[in-house]
Structure 1
Amino acid sequence: PGLPASMEITWTTINETEESTVEYGLGLTALFRARTTDFLWTGSEGREIHIHGVTLTVLRPASAYVYHCGSEAGWSDVLSFTALNESASWGSRFAIYGDMGNENPHIYDLILNFISTNTVYYADNGRIGDEFMRQIQSIAVYVPYMTYCTLHTYEIYLFLDYGVDLIFKRYEWLKKDLEIKLGNRAECLWITTMGHRSMYSSNNNKDDTCYLSVCLSALAQVRLGRNDTKPAAPGLEDVLFSYQLLKCLFPGLDLELWAQEHTYERLWTVYGYKVTKAPVHVITGSTVRARSRAAISVGAISNPRDWSAFCNTDNGHTCMHVHNTTHLYLEQVSDDQYGKVINSIWVVKEKHGFSAWF
């Protein structure tokens, strides 16, 4: 949930329960109890799903906890998780993928999943979502599993059914959050973002350099904003790129992770379609359904763009290992080639923040 020394537990029931509780602790002999906040989802058939969630706080960093959730009417199995290590020098491991993948959860500290939630969670009145959650349960009950709200749900630059207010609210929140993080680089040494629809992609037949005149492509809307709304909606590239000091702009982020495109593509440090001092972009959307394979552009492979360092259409997933305060390692693993590492990169920074660019 973004709070230090905390962990969020979420589960669902088909029936309403009189009580929803998580019992947890460092061992089975001394358990604490935490009350949940419940949410009711109702599909078009009137099918109800009760979603229970609780945030466990004041956890001991890097310590193993056991827990189970439910009530006296029925409990889950006894499960476990490890609270996140809060040391700035801690080396953490991440598994990152677009739609789905099969991984051994115990070698990772965090799972990042750019899932198209509309096609997964809500299809067939939530039954597909139920099956999906059952499939990932062997991972998600042990390792923090973070998803991103994607294209098919409420990706706000493209989904304006609720107006444009959300665009501006997120923009202002993002600016404020980045200002805090960028102003505290002693503790926030590596700054990474995750989003669904990428700003750049070799799969797109046209780039968005014509945006200011006629082009309103989806890539342009995320990168540069929208000029067809009132007021015009700001884009994200400048706010993600810029760290302002003495009226000069320097890259503030280290890494930007994206999905949507059903390929793996690693870009050079790019800003405004030019290779320059900028964050590294990685598109990791290649763990996809079979129906998407035929639609992938072969041009991204045979005729790569100048700002594209590597592109591949194999099904696969990305692994990220933050080794220490200066070294971050990324590799792309091909599931089609039985776990072969097909691309890797070290991001090395002896200094962080704007001073790294001098």
Structure 2
Amino acid sequence: MQQLHFALLASLLLLLLLPGIRSTPTDQKANIVHYQPEQVHLAFGETVLDIVVTWNTRDNTNESICEFGIDGLHQRVKAAHMPTKFVDGGAKKATQYIHRVTLSHLKPNNTYLYHCGSELGWSATYWFRTRFEHADWSPSLAIYGDMGVVNAASLPALQRETQNGQYDAIIHVGDFAYDMDWENGEVGDEFMRQVETIAAYLPYMVCVGNHEEKYNFSNYRARFNMPGETDSLWYSFNLGPVHFVSFSTEVYYFLSYGFKLLTKQFEWLERDLAEANLPENRAKRPWIITYGHRPMYCSDDKEYDCNSDLETYIRQGLPMLKWFGLEDLFFKHGVDVEIFAHEHFYTRLWPIYNYKVYNGSAEAPYTNPKAPIQIITGSAGCKEEREPFSKDLPSWNAYNSNDYGYTRLKAHNGTHLHFEQVSDDQDGAIVDSFWVIKDKHGAYPAPQ
């Protein structure tokens, strides 16, 4: 019996002391590698026939590959550069690797299959549809801002409509996840996994909002790959008869990260809008639509920068100096529609410039309007919930809704745009619908 006890004790000592015989739970966790792609999403590249595929892995696969094709995964693109290491600014310094592959010179009007990853692991197979590089077609988009992981009210409908092929692109007008940096970036990861059900099938075009500010907007800059070389902070792209311009409203509010971003963006906006407004370019792509997160005008009293007594920085420029204001710039270059979010509701404004309404006519205010039309669509749903309207709505407020929902845009041709506001609270009912009709595009007449 004594010999048996001795043998059992010796066996236990061996198990505890000899390396490699049994790993502790901590060792097991340390030895796990995560090569599986996740958070797959698309964006337009330099043209609409260049699609950028972006995804993440927890560990470095040392390569980024996308296999794709029209009738099977017959073509392969391998990124020339290594995956980008991204370290979240939180206490844990969580690490992941961002992969980016561009599928160039795709055939128009085709449905492509694709998957992405490496020889160490692949994503599911997704699909996307290409349209046309020229202007003579009618794109459809869903547009919204302020959607989080919690209370993402619009997400189910957008998932269903994406799978039905209803849209050619999505525009998310700032404020993601609430917030992408929270819990060492885990909230951002969860958000990107949620919108993968949309963004893996459609170009998911974005602009930065105030909720992305932490660590100098590092989560936003790392996770998205928009056209151009500006870390997705400002860029433009053409889609059908529309020239879309995305810009950062946050460069006006977070000057601690540097004044240079504000000046560079303003100079870029001047160049881009001036070029888009040239007669030959207006003839090719008549519509100019801008989108940025914080609005120039709004219909609530909550925000310090939405009170008519305190001029919005975006509209008038920096306080006191009045430098880099965008309302005059957009008016000068004939911007047709300006889309904003930030306020958790939907508002359609009458055509407006310097607090004055410039309708086309009393009977048809949006036919040949004499100033840009502004839309605020920040009600896709987040944990901060809805925001109330002012008791006394301003005279330039044409329509407002407090329902959760999102905006649809159909650019029919060079003369007609159609907007709809979808209510999630009313099971997809259209609560607002209007046409913008223009016989001529360009700079507006001098205000009276």
Correspondence 1:278-317 to 2 at 5 A:
278-293=371-386, 296-299=387-390, 302-317=391-406
Counterpart code for 2:327: E
- In 2, the alpha carbon distance for the partners of 1:76 and 1:209 equals 50
Matched, 1:147 2:240: no
1:28 is paired with a residue of what secondary structure? coil
Aligned with 2:327 (options 226, 234, 237): 237
In 1, Cα distance between the equivalents of 2:132 and 2:445?
Answer: 26
> As a proportion of its length, which structure holds more strand?
1
SS of the residue corresponding to residue 50 of structure 1 reads strand
How far does residue 355 in structure 1 lie from its aligned partner after superposition? 8.3
* CA–CA separation in structure 2 for the residues paired with 1:51 and 1:281: 35
Q: By how many angstroms is 1:156 displaced?
A: 0.8
Does residue 169 of structure 1 match 2:264? yes
C-alpha distance in 2, partners of 1:118/1:6?
A: 27
1:246 is aligned to none
In the alignment, which residue of structure 1 is the partner of 2:420?
A: 331
Give the secondary structure class of the aligned counterpart of 2:183: helix
Aligned-residue Cα RMSD (Å) equals 2.1
1:129 aligns with 2:218: no
Q: Which AA in structure 2 matches 1:237? A: E
Q: Residues 36 and 124 (structure 1 numbering): CA distance in 2 closer, same or farther, change over 3 Å?
A: farther
Any idea what SS the aligned residue of 1:107 has? coil
Q: 1:297 to 1:78 in 2, by over 3 A?
A: closer
Amino acid at match of 2:382: R
Residues in 2 aligned to 1:36 and 1:187: alpha-carbon distance in whole angstroms: 35
- Stretch deviating more after TM superposition (334-343 or 110-119): 110-119
Tell me which of 285, 291, 294 is aligned to 1:188.
Answer: 285
Q: CA 1:8/1:2 → structure 2, altered by over 3 Å: closer, same or farther? A: closer
How do residues 58-77 of structure 1 correspond to structure 2 at under 5 angstroms? 58-77=105-124
Shift of 1:292: 3.0
Number of residues of Structure 1 aligned to a counterpart in Structure 2: 336
- Aligned match for 1:226, one of 318, 325, 328: 318
Provide the C-alpha distance between the structure 2 equivalents of 1:257 and 1:329, rounded to a whole number of angstroms.
14
State the 1:340 CA deviation: 1.1
Which whole-Å CA distance do the structure 1 matches of 2:125 and 2:445 have between them?
47
Distance 1:228 1:272 in 2: 17
Q: Partners in 2 of 1:319 and 1:65 — Cα distance?
A: 24
Question: Which position in structure 2 is the counterpart of 1:109?
Answer: 168
Q: Which amino acid aligns with 1:109?
A: D
| 1:25 Cα deviation after fit | 2.5
Question: How much does 1:2 deviate?
Answer: 5.0
* Partners of 1:182 and 1:188 within 8 A in 2: no
TM superposition score normalised by structure 1: 0.88
Cα distance in 2 between the residues matched to 1:152 and 1:131:
16
Say whether residues 1:257 and 2:339 are aligned partners: yes
Q: Give the Cα separation in 2 of the matches to 1:257 and 1:228.
A: 26
Distance 1:305 1:95 in 2: 27
Structure 1 residue 262: Cα displacement = 0.8
Structure 1 residues 298 and 334, CA gap change in structure 2 (3 angstroms): same
The question of whether the paired residues in 2 share the 8 Å contact of 1:66 and 1:78 is answered with yes
User: Quick one: which amino acid aligns to residue 71 of structure 1?
Assistant: S
Give the 3-state SS of the residue equivalent to 1:185 in structure 2: helix
TM-score, normalised to structure 2, is 0.71
Q: Which residue of 2 aligns with 1:8?
A: 52
Distance (whole Å) between structure 1 residues aligned to residue 415 and residue 181 of structure 2? 42
Partner of 1:53: 100
Q: Which residue matches 2:86?
A: 41
Work out whether residues 53 and 101 of structure 2, in 8 Å CA contact, stay in contact via their aligned partners in 1.
yes
Counterpart position of 2:363: none
Q: Is this contact kept in 1: 2:340–2:374, CA < 8 A?
A: yes
**Are 1:204 and 2:301 counterparts?**
yes
Q: Which shows bigger deviation, 131-140 or 200-209?
A: 200-209
Which amino acid is the alignment partner of residue 62 of structure 1? N
Give distance in 2, aligned partners of 1:344 and 1:170.
33
Query: What's the offset of the Cα at 1:209?
Result: 5.3
Contact 1:167 1:233 in 2 (8 A): no
Partners of 2:255 and 2:296 in 1: CA distance: 19
The AA in structure 1 aligned to 2:318 is R
Aligned to 1:249: none
Q: Take 1:331 and 1:30, find their aligned partners in 2: how far apart are those partners?
A: 40
Deviates more, 1:135-144 or 1:111-120: 111-120
- 2-structure distance, mates of 1:197, 1:178: 20
**Which residue number corresponds to residue 366 of structure 2?**
none
- The 1:194/1:2 distance shift into structure 2, 3 A limit, reads farther
Distance of aligned partners of 1:291 and 1:112 in 2 relative to their CA distance in 1, 3 Å threshold:
same
Query: Matched residues in 2 for 1:228 and 1:152: separation?
Result: 26
Q: Secondary structure at 1:193's aligned position in 2?
A: strand
Give ranges in structure 2 of 5+ residues lacking alignment: 1-43, 148-153, 214-249, 359-369
